[in-house]
Structure 1
């Protein structure tokens, strides 16, 4: 029997004891199942994913669920990056343990069981220290975290301070609204399209904005400015956004009309 560990929130422990582990994870190819890692002689390597998983809004502390699987149970094994390239290997569970145990550096590797874990396969549930493992990626310590929109985790502890200390050139944080309005005013009338598009890009990262001061850009002669205006106000909760988008839905340029259609089609 091959032994693996699955890390999950303490709140899930009673349900796991009663019903097993649900196939809530999604592996390569969209298959549903359970992520786990072999139990190795090294405690740190066995629980290496703990701090990384704790970053994504787990409910309280995490626990380690030890799972016994038949040696011939088919699993997927590979590095996390292999999942996105559909390059993980399909092997028996025993071979997955042997392959990972033989690695000089198994950090970042994972095993995916393409089904739910049955209650009888749950060996035990243990508490685990909450500071074990790496965050972001192996060897990330000492490397400046990326603050782009794709890498940052919304609501993560210290995220706002990090973005203010190391702002991303494209993804912010955006300058204050008064600074952006000053740039729009300094652009002139009708205004330099490049300056206006940049200001609207930053306005698009806000939840609300000065709609009245930007409405005039709906008739700007550059269609790129009008299209950027659509994307800037699309997610605002400011009153009047719907009326502005309705007026731009009849814009003479197809790119602007398509932007409005895409906004209305998005959930």
Structure 2
């Protein structure tokens, strides 16, 4: 029997003890199953995924679920990055353990069981040290963290302070609304298109905005500004947004009409 460890929020412990582990995760091909890692002699390597998974875990931390699978159980093993030479390979459970143990650096590797794990296969559920493992990616310590919308986790401890210290050129945090309105006013009349598009980009990150202060840009002679206006106000819930979008939907330039259609606010009518 091959032994693996599955890390999960502590809130799931009682359910797992009673009914096993659900096939709630999906692999790169969309198949449902359970991610786990072989139990190796090194405690740190065995639980290497803990700090990364804890970024999305519950308030009580994670627990380790040890499970035993038949040596011939079909699984896949590979690196999470799925790069050439590290792509997931279909093997047996015993072969997955052997391959992982033989790696010079098994950090970032994972095993996927393409089914649920039954209660009978659960060996034990136990507490683990919450400071074990790497975050973001192996060897990330010492590198500048990325604050783009794809990398950051909303509500993560210290994330707001990090974004303020290292603002992302595209994903913010955005300057204050009065600052952006001042930039729009200082852009001139009709206004420099590049400056106006930059200000509208930041305003588009808000749920509401000063619609009355920027609606005049619907008459700007540059269609890229009018398209940027549609993209910015599309997510807003400010009263008057839909009438402005309907007006832009009749714009003579195709790019502006497409920007309105992309907001998906006006439906088929």
Normalising by structure 1, we get a TM-score of: 0.95
Shift of 1:14: 1.3
- Which residue is equivalent to 1:25? 25
- 1:85 and 1:247 map into 2 onto residues whose CA distance is 53
Deviations, residues 22-79 of structure 1 (Å, cap 9, x unaligned): 1111101111110000000001110010110010143422100001001111111111
Aligned pairs (5 A) from 1:165-244: 165-244=165-244
Q: Which deviates more from structure 2 when the two are superposed, residues 257-266 or residues 225-234?
A: 257-266
Q: Higher mean Cα deviation, 239-248 or 111-120?
A: 239-248
User: 2:33 aligns to what SS in structure 1?
Assistant: strand
Distance 2:80 2:238 in 1: 41
| 1:193-249 superposed Cα distances (whole Å, 9 cap, x missing partner) | 111001111111222211110100112111111111111112222222222112211
Contact 2:246 2:266 in 1 (8 A): no
Within a 5 Å distance, the mapping from 1:130-169 to structure 2 comes to 130-169=130-169
Say whether the 8 Å CA contact 1:27–1:83 is kept in structure 2: no
Inter-CA distance 204–111: structure 2 relative to 1 (3 Å threshold): same
TM-superposition CA deviations, 1:70-105 (whole Å, max 9, x none): 111111111110189993111101000000001111
Q: Determine the C-alpha separation between the residues in 2 that align with 1:252 and 1:232.
A: 19
With over 3 angstroms needed to count, the CA separation of the structure-2 counterparts of 1:252 and 1:85, relative to structure 1, is farther
Question: Kindly tell me: are residues 83 and 10 of structure 1, through their superposed partners in 2, closer, same or farther at Cα, counting changes over 3 Å?
Answer: farther
Aligned residue for 1:125, secondary structure, equals strand
SS at structure 2 position matched to 1:91: strand
Q: For 1:84 and 1:246, locate their aligned partners in 2 and report how far apart those are by CA, in whole Å.
A: 48
Paired residue for 1:8? 8
**TM-score (ref. length: structure 2):** 0.95
Return the alpha-carbon distance in structure 2 between the equivalents of residues 59 and 4 of structure 1: 24
Q: CA RMSD in A?
A: 1.9
**Higher alpha-carbon deviation: 137-146 or 246-255:** 246-255
Matches within 5 A, 1:12-91: 12-82=12-82, 87-91=87-91
Aligned partners of 1:223, 1:208: CA distance in 2, in Å?
Answer: 23
List runs of 5+ in structure 2 lacking aligned partners.
Answer: none
State the match for 2:102 in structure 1: 102
Q: Summarize the Cα distance change of 1:265–1:71 in structure 2 as closer, same or farther, 3 Å threshold.
A: farther
Q: Residue 246 of structure 1 corresponds to which residue in structure 2?
A: 246
8 Å CA contact 1:75–1:91 kept in 2: the answer is: yes
Q: Cα distance, 1:266 vs. partner?
A: 10
Q: CA deviation at 1:251?
A: 1.4
